[in-house]
Chain A
């Protein structure tokens, strides 16, 4: 008889005896995991969409005068002071005109009478495509506007900013639901463990009388918590996978998913979720056993 095998036997016995509350706990744990991982899945996919949209995202800073090379350096320095950027490109009046001409294509005749320097020079700033810097894009634009010689700052489309604030919101929801997950699972697990403990108080007292160590007494409860966390997480993620497949099926005809691929959580994230839930529930049961048994 090793510590482990007898702990496993005790765990099995405990769980059979309190199976009703075990089922309740499993249900709560899997539901919390499902809610959390559903939000996380949405967030995860939204991030991907964000990355694709981000490709044509840039800030255009119109200047009143062509900057000289030292002034260009100065602008570069000031831009980098606010945030790291991927790239800064200076566009002269001439270049702007040529681009415009190209854009007009066959209609470029209308430009014949016009001076080649009617377009203002500009700086194109490509921000780094991380969520953080993208979510600051409005503030970035406001900052750029305060630089000397700036006429106007233009950036992408308004809805990109809105999209990113949506992602911000998603992030808050994910964090909150994660918090909720932690609270409910640890509470529920601690609660069932407490029930088990109380229903077995006599036996635990006897174990102590005949010379059981604290670990011998505690271990089954640790296993019980770990088991609930593990099975609960697997059930919750299983349910999410079913939900995911259902969504895919519902929208299989629409072009939405051709535009934005909707993928399931990658395996490492699934693994992290399961491990985290297992650890969390073990912790919940352990601390509950500690308190109830006053070990």
Chain B
């Protein structure tokens, strides 16, 4: 069993993952890497390199053309549709296109991820307040999402992703529309969650948000190049096709 061969602290494992969008878009080619429990990893690469695609493969929003994705030791391709919720509950994903419900308020948008796991109302209210305060959005709590600026929408999407304390947080360009101060707020939220044991995978163009200590996986034309941000390659598995 492949589950038993793995080191026990690996939470996300990609093995030779290839994603082809029909007819011939090679979004990802032979990607292999693992993420340990409690790690905070950055995913970089040019626009179109396949960052979003990679995150979507991990939450099974897309399925790989070849290769295997394991989360928590489970080959996610084998999760039947009716049990998909168990994977999705482990993962909080902040989408690049936010996926907010435009006519709902900020509070309602954030509550969605907690409602589906039947959190108590008191918990939902407390957690929503706390997150909005941390992200500097207290005054917008009852504003419909459609009336927010992009930067505000982005923060609501992040709040929704992390609200239920997921084990894994996937953030797609979480600071793309933010100024330096607000970026700081978002990153300190992520650092807090990291401290509390969450595993984070953050796709970004923003070099200011990671430093020498972080592992960085760089995608180039759908192929990977991982290194410690300091520049010393720890593994280079780029393959040609």
Contact = CB atoms under 8 A, between A and B. Distances in A.
Bound together: yes
A2 B120 CA distance: 8
A207 B160 CA distance: 12
Residue from the set B59, B85, B88, B121 with the largest chain A CB neighbour count within 10 Å: B85
Contact of A207 (B87, B112, B114, B120): B112
A206 interface: yes
Contact of A1 (B85, B89, B121): B121
A3 B86 CA distance: 16
Interface stretch (A109-117, A148-156, A211-219): A211-219
A6 B112 CA distance: 11
A203 interface: yes
Contacts of A2: 118
Given A203-B101, A206-B112, A211 B118 contact: no
A4 B99 CA distance: 26
Interface string A176-189: 00000000000000
Interface residues of A, number: 17
A247 B42 CA distance: 79
Contacts of A3: 118
A209 B101 CA distance: 13
Interface string B67-107: 00000000000000010111111000100000101000000
Interface in A188-220: 202-203, 206-214, 216
Contacts of B113: 210-211
A207 B89 CA distance: 11
A216 B101 contact: no
B116 A212 contact: yes
Contact of B88 (A6, A209, A214): A209
A1 B88 contact: no
A231 B171 CA distance: 46
B93 A1 contact: no
Given A6-B115, A206-B112, A210-B160, 4 more contacts: A1-B120, A211-B86, A211-B89, A212-B85
26 contacts: A1-B114, A1-B115, A1-B121, A1-B124, A202-B101, A203-B101, A206-B112, A207-B116, A208-B84, A208-B85, A209-B59, A209-B61, A209-B93, A209-B99, A210-B112, A210-B160, A211-B86, A211-B87, A211-B89, A211-B117, A212-B85, A212-B116, A213-B82, A213-B116, A214-B85, A295-B82
User: Top 3 closest A-B pairs, CB basis?
Assistant: A211-B89, A211-B88, A212-B116
Interface of B: 59, 61, 82, 84-89, 93, 99, 101, 112-121, 124, 160
